[in-house]
Amino acid sequence: MNPLNAACYADRAIWCRAPVVENLVIAESTFRVRIPCPELARRIIPGQFVMLRLAERSDPLLARPFALYDTYRDAGELAGIDVVYLVKGRFTTAMSRCGAGTEVEIWGPLGNGFSSRPVEHLIMVAGGIGQTPFLALGAEFLGRKRFGEPERERGTARRVTFCYGARRSSMLAGLDDFRNQGIDVRVATDDGSAGHHGFVTDLLRQLLEGEVSLAQARIACCGPEPMMAAVARIAKEAGVACELSLETPMACGIGVCFTCVARIRTDHAEGWDYKRTCVEGPVFDATQVLL
Ligand SMILES: Cc1cc2nc3c(=O)[nH]c(=O)nc-3n(C[C@H](O)[C@H](O)[C@H](O)COP(=O)(O)OP(=O)(O)OC[C@H]3O[C@@H](n4cnc5c(N)ncnc54)[C@H](O)[C@@H]3O)c2cc1C
Ligand code: FES
Which residue minimizes the CA distance to atom 49 of ligand 1? 89
What is the percent of the chain with per-residue pLDDT over 90, rounded to a whole number?
89
Please report the pLDDT score of residue 208 as a whole number: 94
pLDDT at 230 over 90: yes
Instruction: Take atom 20 of ligand 1 and give the residue whose Cα is closest.
Output: 64
Taking the CA of 261 as reference, the closest ligand is: 2
Which of 189, 208, 185 lies closest to 198 in space, CA to CA? Answer: 189
Please state which CATH number belongs to domain 10-110.
2.40.30.10
For ligand 1, whether the C-beta of 67 sits within 6 Å is yes
User: What contacts 24, CB < 8 A, 6 or more positions away?
Assistant: 31, 32, 33
Tell me how far the alpha carbon of residue 249 lies from the centroid of ligand 1, in angstroms.
Answer: 6
Rounded mean pLDDT, 172-183: 98
The domain limits of the chain are 10-110, 121-288
Look at residue 5 in the predicted model and tell me its pLDDT: 65
For the CA of 87, the nearest ligand: 1
Given a cut of 80, is residue 1 above it in pLDDT?
no
CA distance 32 to 85: 6
Q: Does the structure show a pLDDT above 60 at 118?
A: yes
Q: Enumerate residues 6+ apart whose C-beta is below 8 A from 270.
A: none
Q: Return the ligand 2 atom nearest residue 257 CA.
A: 2
What is the Å distance from ligand 1's center to 287 Cα?
24
> For residue 7, how far is its CA from the centre of ligand 2 (angstroms)?
13
Among the bound ligands, the one closest to the CA of 26:
1
Strands (E), 62-211: 64-67, 70-74, 77-86, 103-110, 121-127, 159-166, 184-189, 196-197
Separation of 195 CA from ligand 2 center, angstroms? 37
What is residue 7's predicted lDDT score, i.e. its pLDDT? 80
- Helices within the chain (DSSP H only): 38-43, 90-96, 134-141, 175-180, 200-210, 225-238, 277-280
**184-189 and 159-166 beta bridge pairing:** parallel
Band of pLDDT at residue 219, cut at 50, 70 and 90: very high
Ligand 1: which of 49, 54, 58, 64 to mutate, judged by most atoms within 8 Å of the beta carbon?
64
Q: How far is the CA of 261 from the centre of ligand 2 (A)?
A: 7
How does the average pLDDT of the chain come out, rounded?
A: 95
Residue 204 CA to ligand 1 center (angstroms) comes to 25
Predicted structure pTM score: 0.96
Ligand nearest to the CA of 246: 1
Which ligand 2 atom minimizes the distance to the CA of 255?
3
pLDDT at 286: 98
Instruction: Judge if the beta carbon of residue 65 lies within 6 A of ligand 1.
Output: yes
pLDDT at site 246? 98
Question: Ligand 2 centre from 276 Cα, in Å?
Answer: 6
Cα angle 85, 258, 56; round to 5: 50
Ligand 1 atom, smallest distance to 260 CA:
53
pLDDT in tens, 126-164: 999 999 999 999 999 999 999 998 888 888 999 999 999
According to the model, what pLDDT value does residue 214 have?
Answer: 82
Kindly indicate whether the domain formed by 121-288 is annotated with CATH number 3.40.50.80. Answer: yes
Q: What is the mean pLDDT of residues 279-285?
A: 97
Query: Is pLDDT above 80 for 212?
Result: no
In this prediction, residue 2 carries a pLDDT of: 52
Q: What is the mean pLDDT of residues 66-81?
A: 97
Q: Contact at 8 Å (CB) between 71 and 82?
A: yes
